[in-house]
Structure 1
Amino acid sequence: MKLVVVSAGLSVPSSTRLLADRLAAATGRQADVDVEVVELRELAVEIAQNLTNGFPGRRLAAAIDAVTSADGLIVVTPVFSASYSGLFKSFFDVIDKDALTGMPVLIAATGGTARHSLVLDHALRPLFAHLRAVVVPTGVYAASEDWGAEGLDGRIERAAGELAALMRGLSATRRPAPDAFTVVPFAEQLAAMTEGSAN
């Protein structure tokens, strides 16, 4: 299965990327996954250009293709002004609104204080619910004091286990976008039912 990790960290090294890597590793211990990481920092210019001209650059197009063709996503953003970063939101703004329908998603965020932990339920979860993704019950927030402290590892493992289970259960049954459904005229349906009852 293909697991794509979207990291919106801006610095190098980045606590956001560190959390993303730990979540991916934990998921890999519970499911057979091939991991691909999308670093939004490297795509910032192309994302801005796509927002203004409507066309993705080569690297952005590859990132969008990776995300939309994944069996599961891990998305991690730093907290800015009590919400996800503008770069994070802009990336998902350039993805077709139906492309993540049924996609298993693990949401996570990093911040300087535990007071911003509500970003998971007040910003990230509504965003992916709007995109009709399937968000795992456990989100992971890591404040500065959480690194090396008791509790973070347990949350990571629990969330990763939920994502692995969803990926196994949903990857083969993701519903296609509405325009991919085949509409069968009622007359044909009726003929098929009549033929079946005659046998």
Structure 2
Amino acid sequence: MKKLFICFALFFISYGSYSQFLITEGKTSIQSNKHPAAIAEMPYPVAVVEAAIDEYMASKGTRGSESKGVRIFRSHVLAPAYPVKNDLYFKVEKKSRQEKDMSIVYLVIAKTGADFKAGGHEEGVEPGKILLQDMAPFLEDYFVTVQVREQEEFIKKVVKKSDALVETQKDLEKKKKSLDEQIAENLKKQEDQKAELEKQNGVLESIKLKRKTKN
């Protein structure tokens, strides 16, 4: 594993990274046992980190499976210069109830074929820390991509609502035009009716005058 660590470190240095995570080490419980793990604190929600890990590993040619909240990638080669196969166990948890958009990633690396439950995977901690840091640019890009996609979807909803409001405005304007026409017609009828009333009152007065003349 020492050779693996040296080769993997050289590969990482040559690759470079523009994003830094807080990388530490400790232990995590997987399959009812405590295992030494590389630990990273990431400023992204759990669901985003899990999806990004799946895509990152797929881009490296390894497909994983999920078991009891742990993502397992078997027979993965960490460094092309040292083609030893390892099984990678990723566990992602939210940092706290107050920090739901922060995640803690635990990575346990064990040699493929080894008895995982037996423990003793300390040699995988340093390569695990390097791997987590190596994932930083990918996760950062992935998170931005997710944000762009979500913003685009939000904009589509805003545009749809805006278009609906425009159509509603058109309908209201049509109704208003129709109502204005009805009001204008009603006013004309009122004027006509007023004129008719005056005319009929005039007729009535003429009739009354005839009656007075006869008397």
Shorter-chain-normalised TM-score: which range? under 0.3
TM-score of the aligned structures, taking structure 2 as reference length: 0.26
TM-score of the aligned structures, taking structure 1 as reference length: 0.27
User: Which has the higher Rg, Structure 1 or Structure 2?
Assistant: 2
More strand by share: 2
More helix by share: 2
